[in-house]
Structure 1
Amino acid sequence: MKKIYFVGAGPGDKELITLKGYKLLCQADIVIYAGSLVNPELLDYCKEECKIYDSAVMDLMQIIEVMKNGVENDKLVVRLQTGDISLYGSIREQSEELKKLGIEYESIAGVSSFLGAAASMGIEYTVPEISQSLIITRLEGRTPVPKLEKLELFASHQTSMAIFLSVQNIDNVVDRLIEGGYPQDTPVAVVYKA
C-alpha cells in the first residue's frame, strides 16, 4: 500500500523546491496542489499522465477522497502545499482524516517564504547586537491567535519578525507593531512571491 506525500512547494520560485520534493513531483501519478498559493510552473515537473487537482475548488473531504482513491489504486499521491508544510500548511486536518482511514503519509520539508524573502532581499534576520531571534507569526483572522501571541506583545521583544497572512490588514499591523514598541523608522519589507 502506498502512502501520501505532503510536499512543501517552496516560496514561489520554481527552482526553490527541495530535490526530494522535485523527485516526488516527477514520479507522481496524482498531485493535489494548493491553488493560487502554489506556483503552477511546478506542475511542469509532473509526468504527462499525472492527474492534477486544484484544491482551491475542493473541500477537505473531496481532497481526502482523491487521496484515498489514489492509495487504493496503488498510485503515488503528492499533496503540494505552499512554502514549508510546518508553517500555516493546514496538513494537520488532512493527516487526521488519513489516520482515521489507516492511510500512511510522509511530510517532505519545503523552503519557507520567509527564507525566500530574506534571500531575495539579501538580508539576514539575525544580526549581532541587533537581533538574535526571529518571531514567525500572523495577525488573527478567521483563525484566532492565543492571547499571549498578540502582535503588540511580540513587538515588545524588539527582534526580527516574519508576519504571514496579514498584508490585507497592513494598517492594523503597523499600528500594533508601533503600539508594541517598534520605532516608526523600523525597516520593513512587504514581500510577494519571493
Structure 2
Amino acid sequence: MVGVIHFVGAGPGAADLLTVRATRLLAAADVVVYPGTYLDPEVLTHCSPEARLVDSQALDLDRITAVLVEAAAEGLAVVRLTSGDPSVYSALAEQTRRLAAAGVAWDVTPGVPSYAAATALVGAELTVPLLAQSVVLTRAQARSTPMPDGESLEAFAATGATLVLHLAVTRTTELAERLAPYYGADCPAVVVFRASQPGELVLRGTLADIGAQVEDAGLRQAAVIIVGRVLGTTGGGESHLYDAARPRPTTGA
C-alpha cells in the first residue's frame, strides 16, 4: 500500500504556533522530514518517539524526494515539514512535481507564515486604510533563481504597497537604498530575526538606518524585512466596514 505525503507548515518555528491538524499529523507520522536550518527543535516534540526524523538541510531535492517516495512505498505515514506556510518559498511545486511523476499522492496543511509572525511581534497591521491596502511578498535575487521579468523591486516599490522581503537580509543596505526613492528615506522599516523562536530579535528603524542596524547585529539568515508607512505609529484612515454611519443589518427578535 502506497502512503500519502503530508506537506505541513511548521509555522515560524515556535512549537505552539502549529495548527491542531499539524500536531495530529506529526503525532501519527512514521517518518518526518524537517528543515533543521529554520526550525526550533521543540517543534519536533509533537512527533512520536518512534518516528524516524530526517533533517533535510544537508539534502538536495532529489535526495529529499527519494526519502519521501521510499517511505510512501512502504506504506508509512510521512510528514514533510516546511518552514512557515507551504504556499510561500517552500519548494512545494518542485517536490510535488517529482512525487506526481513517481505516482505518490500528497496533500497540504497550511501553517503560520513567517511574515505574519514577524508582523504580530511588532504589533502592526500591513493594510491600513489610506496608507496601504496591498501587501507584496517577494525576495531579493543574488546567487539564486532569477526573478521573472516584471518582478523587479522597483516595480513593486512604485505601487507604494507594504513590502515584505524574504531571503534578503544580507543585502538590507543595498535594498533600502533602492527603495528610498519610492518610499522616502524616512519610511519605517523593521527586520525580524527568528520570530517566535528563542533568540528572536526585532530591529526598528527607517530605510536610512535599517541596513546599518542589520550589519551591527550580524544577521545573515532567517529574517524578514518589512517596509511601509503602515509601520508608523500615526496616520491612516478608518475602515468603512466599522463606520458608525454604515447601514447595519437588523436582527430578528
Identify the structure with bigger relative contact order (alpha carbons < 8 Å, sequence gap 6+): 1
Give the helix-richer structure, 1 or 2: 1
* Other-structure match for 1:158: 160
Q: Which runs of 4+ in 1 moved over 2 A?
A: none
**Alpha-carbon separation, structure 2, partners of 1:177 and 1:146:** 19
Which residue is 1:143 aligned to?
Answer: 145
Structure 1 residues not aligned, in runs of 5+: none
After superposition, where does 1:1-194 map in structure 2 within 5 Å? 1-141=2-142, 142-179=144-181, 181-194=182-195
User: What SS does the aligned partner of 1:97 have?
Assistant: helix
Q: 1:103, CA displacement in angstroms?
A: 0.3
The one-letter code of the counterpart of 2:167 is L
SS in 1 for 2:192: coil
Deviation at 1:132, TM superposition (A): 0.9
Q: CA deviation at 1:82?
A: 0.6
SS across alignment from 1:15: coil
| % identical equivalent positions | 37
Root-mean-square deviation (CA, aligned residues, Å) is 1.0
Question: Between Structure 1 and Structure 2, whose CA radius of gyration is higher?
Answer: 2
Q: Give the Cα–Cα distance (whole angstroms) in 1 for the partners of residues 133 and 70 of structure 2.
A: 47
Inter-partner Cα distance in structure 2 for 1:81 and 1:39: 12
| TM-score scaled by length of structure 1 | 0.96
Give the distance between the partners of 1:162 and 1:14, measured in 2 at CA.
Answer: 24
* 1:81-117 CA distance string (max 9 Å, x none): 1100110000111111111110000011111011111
Q: How many residues align?
A: 193
Query: In structure 2, how many angstroms separate the alpha carbons of the residues matched to 1:129 and 1:96?
Result: 42
Q: State how far apart, in whole Å, the 2-side matches of 1:9 and 1:72 are.
A: 24
- What TM-score results when the alignment is normalised by the length of structure 2? 0.74
Decide which moves more: 50-59 or 63-72.
63-72
- In structure 1, C-alpha distance between the alignment counterparts of 2:72 and 2:36, rounded to whole Å: 22
- Give the partner amino acid of 2:145: T
How many angstroms does 1:49 deviate by? 0.5
Unaligned runs of 5+ in 2: 196-253
Q: Which residue of 1 aligns with 2:213?
A: none
Measured in 2, the distance between the counterparts of 1:77 and 1:189 equals 37
